[in-house]
Structure 1
Amino acid sequence: MFLNPKIVFSWLVFLLSFTSLFLSSWILLPAPNMSLLTLAVGAPEVSPWLLLLNLFSLLLSFLCIRRYRIRRLTSIFSSIGLLICAWVLANIPLTQMQMDKAMKQGLGTDYLEQIPVQVRAKMQTHPFNLVNFFGGIQLGKTRHQKDILFASPAVMPLKMEVYQPPQVGKYPAVVVIYGGAWQYGNPQANSEFNQYIAHQGYTVFAIDYRHAPKYQFPTQLDDVRTALNFIRKNAATYEADPERMVLIGRSAGAHLAMLAAYQPDAPPIRAVINYYGPVNLPEGYKTPPVPDPINTRAVLKAFLGGSLEELPNQYKIASPINYLTHPLPPTLLIYGSRDHLVEARFGRQMYERLHNSGNTAVFLQIPWAEHAFDAVFNGVSNQLALYNTERFLAWALFKK
């Protein structure tokens, strides 16, 4: 007995439509655990590809499936997936309009005019570009130095990577701190971002720090401060200007970047860029996200050495939101509305506290984005974030 090829093909199309809907659904569904978090992070960022996949399965259902029930179910699945993906793409212009408004509110309506023309000429001209999405963002040539030792605390070498523009010169310093729940990660992370920023005319330092739970707070902050001192002392060697320095961090790295920049005795820092970083650890412990795929309380216990009830003062000291008693560097905060590791409400809370205390701050929120949205470098969310990040950077470091 032989299977009818048309029936087999119909079921394959049905399977394709189900798969495309399943993948697309993670644009809306929160991940209940770390295993599924990758889908929730990645689905909105590759939504143009998923839209094409849904459209393809929809066309196949009409053109190739003769059985009414299978065709109807397949077309329903594909249509739902198509609508979900279209929601992301349709919201890009509105989201960028809101971001542009927030940038002007925070930095001044003429902030772009304060950036030299030759610096502006290097920037992305569009917040989102399908050519960059499908073909990749052009990184440009850079010089790259690896495994630069900056400290050996407790017989553990701490190293950094340096990315420099192709031409010899003197450039503003951008210090990048990776995330990873304070427990994992390395300076090789986000290398595409580092290369892109270096090509724009910055010396980028991607630094390391010791990890929890073996090393607990404030060890990580001490390591960041050690790295900053090393960079300032050796700035000339790496063609960096120590008086024009910005800190950029992601997640746990953003938390460390803010803490390092907000210390009363911090070296001169022109600005801080916070990608989805924790800012209020007591509140994060008391009200973790739902669902909570990373187990927020366990992460904070490992980082700080105990629970909020056991170490209330440590939680307070480790919270950037508690350092608003003196003028602080301008701060850019970028969060995803669907972040289930560090909720966007914390970023808004930080923004409001900074703004109300007279500090310069900008809060950008991406409606469809999860935590670590920029892991897909040419993805939808990162294109928007990168467009505004490079303008904030240029304003902070080159403004007239």
Structure 2
Amino acid sequence: MLAAAVLGFVGCTTPVATTDAPTPTATPPAASPSVGEETALPTPTSVESPPAVGQEVCSALVDRLTPEDRIGQLFMVGKTSTEPVGEDYRRMLTESRAGHVVLLGNSRDGTAGIKELTDNLRRAATETEGIGLFVAVDQEGGAVQRLKGPGFDNMPAARVQANRPLPELQRSAQHWARQLSAAGVDVNLAPVADIVPADHVADNAPIGQLERHYGETLDEVGPRVEAVVRGLDEAGLASSLKHFPGLGRVAGNTDFTGNVADNAIGRRDAGLAAFRVGIDAGADMVMIATASYERIDPGVPAAFSAVVIDRMLRGDMGFTGVVISDDLGAAQQVADIPPGERAVRFLAAGGDIVINGDAGLQSEMTQAVRDRAAADPEFNEEIKAKATRVLIMKANRGAVSCLPS
């Protein structure tokens, strides 16, 4: 899970704006099934495909890109937020054509210092056809707040945020997102939609022990996930639900531990509805966990599973947006798989953006995807479709122009 110390992941806040925001409305049913129970997921009601004309224009833009530039849009590469942009990193951005960067480490440089860094990253990146670099960060609150210092509030953990009334939580999310936007950040890799049942909190290393969850039931988590997604959107930031299909019942942290598996979640688990709420609220992305799920696709990390990505997320849940991986670079969970194979397997399973927390591995990952695309015409066509989805998301957030005004 892209949120632990290996990637720089480990209050009182300043007052937030008091203007009224709409109260989130897409709450789960009052008598929702218990997490862990199998239930038929409702038919998606508010997930819409991109406008046809926008799809065509963005697809035409993708056709004009070189194969290298298309593939570059499918990577998000880690950059330590406490160090300047060095020559090695500049060279990596140029050679890989990476379209996204994720800031790692715990910075106290404030909005001014981070804005200088993001400006330098954009100057270092190769901009083709007016496609801007996207900069992301994990800014959940509590132990997982990457950016602090002047201009950034000290954000409480999600479990504490959950005590706020929903309209206030939505306003808070908007307020914190505006601080990120002022620092040149485009994406907050949040909110966490994982449900951690009460009897798992103490031994759930990735979520429960860090208080990253909004609650222990669907009725607690769903409305709060919606409020945060809407708050981020109101501030113009892209969001990412995580970590599908859920890390709330595993013991190990996939950043530090291998062979992390969930033996409880099934394909129709009631807890998946928390992700559905976030999707219906307009989440730009869904992040896929690297744990394996024995009742879904035994022995296969979810990030490499077409059952999880294509059949569950795309098919069962109707998600048409961008599918992003949890870290496939520095995470111990995937360390025994060659880096290039990790990237290819995620994309072949249906994913769109590979997160690589170790920039030193980027050349190997990029080359493996280029080689597979050159040798496999079907995979190459899938690359074009993935790049189109990514550009539609970036267009919606102002980083490229390929949607009708």
| TM-score (normalizing by structure 1) | 0.34
Structure with greater proportional helix content? 1
Larger RCO: 1 or 2 (CA < 8 Å, sep 6+): 2
